[in-house]
């Protein structure tokens, strides 16, 4: 009788062993805590797949210039913050405000300030400025964007230097030196809350020199700032634009930067202008002027 029951006992022991194996705890959950009971039969097919890409592998979102106001410092400038990843090698495309030059060839024009241009300038000029409106000129010049395409920019400068400025930008165009934006300074620019990400190549604006009481060379139409973000101003703990600190490292060459002896400094030197990048304090890498200041 016992001999006859032995196969049945062995069979029942095997069934119980399989049941015990099936009751083992499942793998730890996503948070690392082990499961407390048997996993449902559908767990393997309904659980979402584990993420395989680290968060840092995702491309940063596109940057919108002027969309993020900065906290203010006591001096009225924005707080200097680390350069966002999207702007550490800045190559934003140019938005065409004027028709590109036909045929992709360099084009330029020098005109008096018309009523329409005067209206667009807004508060950037007033009768209190040290230069008359009649002594300013409206320039259009071709430039190459970081997108490699030809664009048309606009500047207001003193009539005495209009032809010089045109000759400089003609050389930059032939050399394919990239410029992101070149448009008039308007009331909206002067009244905007600091965002620290502007990059407008511009000339005339009636203002005092930064952190000083005397008129800037810009207030006479005798200075041009080129690619401010790639060529920031620095004095003490102030960096302008406020998000451009990455570009204080001049040992890391990136497109749009101005360097000693390059086409930008050479072109301005050829017309007798000086570069603020050679100053000791402040160091104004974007700034070229006919007055030396």
pLDDT digits (tens, 9 = 90+) for 195-215: 999 999 999 999 877 666 789
Query: What does the pLDDT read at residue 59?
Result: 67
Gap between the Cα atoms of 178 and 268, Å rounded? 16
Strand partners, 275: 288
Domain map (residue ranges) of the chain: 74-85+92-289
Query: Is-contact 144 179, C-beta < 8 A?
Result: yes
**The whole model's pTM is what?**
0.79
Query: Is-contact 155 141, C-beta < 8 A?
Result: yes
Q: Tell me the two tokens of residue 33.
A: 């805590």
156-203 pLDDT, tens digit each:
999 999 999 999 999 999 999 999 999 999 999 999 999 999 999 999
What average pLDDT does this structure show over 144-153? Answer: 97
Length of the chain: 293
Query: What does the pLDDT read at residue 211?
Result: 63
Strand partners, 239: 234
Q: Tell me the two tokens of residue 132.
A: 């008359």
Query: What does the pLDDT read at residue 54?
Result: 52
Tally helices (H) and strands (E) across the chain.
6, 9
Q: Name the H helices within 40-79.
A: 43-46
In Å, what is the CA distance from 196 to each residue of 176, 193, 272? 26, 9, 31
Helix-helix angle 162-174:263-270, to 10 degrees? 150
The string of DSSP codes covering 199-238 is -B-B-----BPTTSSSBPGGGGT-EEE--TTTS-EEETTE
Q: Comparing 190-199, 211-220, 258-267, 274-283, which segment has the lowest mean pLDDT?
A: 211-220
Cα–Cα–Cα angle for 248, 251, 254, rounded to 5 degrees: 80
101-107, long-range: CB < 8 A, 24+ apart: 101/142, 101/150, 101/151, 101/152, 104/150, 105/142, 106/141, 106/142, 106/170, 106/173, 106/174, 107/140, 107/141, 107/142, 107/152
Query: What does the pLDDT read at residue 45?
Result: 39
Laid out side by side, the sheet with 150-158 consists of 108-112, 136-144, 150-158
């Amino acid at each position: 009788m016992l001999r006859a029951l032995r196969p049945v006992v062995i069979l029942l022991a095997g069934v119980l062993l399989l049941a015990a194996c099936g009751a083992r705890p499942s793998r730890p959950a996503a948070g690392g805590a082990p499961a407390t009971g048997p996993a449902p039969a559908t767990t393997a097919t309904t659980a979402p797949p584990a993420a395989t890409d680290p968060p840092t592998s995702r491309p940063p979102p596109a940057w919108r210039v002027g969309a993020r106001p900065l906290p203010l410092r006591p001096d009225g400038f924005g707080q200097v913050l680390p350069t966002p990843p999207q702007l550490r090698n800045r190559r934003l495309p140019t938005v065409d405000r004027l028709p590109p030059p036909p045929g992709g060839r360099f084009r330029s024009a020098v005109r008096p300030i018309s009523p329409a241009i005067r209206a667009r300038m807004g508060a950037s000029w007033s009768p209190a400025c040290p230069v008359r409106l009649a002594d300013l000129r409206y320039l259009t010049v071709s430039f190459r964007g970081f997108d490699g395409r030809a664009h048309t920019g606009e500047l207001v400068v003193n009539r005495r230097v209009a032809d010089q400025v045109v000759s400089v930008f003609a050389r930059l165009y032939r050399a394919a030196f990239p410029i992101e934006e070149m448009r008039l300074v308007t009331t909206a620019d002067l009244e905007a809350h600091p965002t620290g990400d502007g990059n407008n190549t511009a000339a005339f604006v009636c203002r005092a020199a930064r952190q000083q009481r005397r008129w800037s060379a810009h207030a006479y139409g005798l200075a041009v700032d080129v690619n401010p973000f790639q060529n920031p101003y620095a004095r003490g703990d102030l960096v302008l634009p406020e998000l451009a600190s990455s570009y204080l490292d001049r040992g890391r060459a990136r497109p749009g930067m101005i360097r000693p002896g390059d086409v930008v400094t050479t072109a301005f030197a050829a017309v007798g202008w000086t570069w603020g990048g050679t100053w000791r304090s402040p160091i104004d890498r974007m700034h070229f002027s006919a007055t030396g200041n």
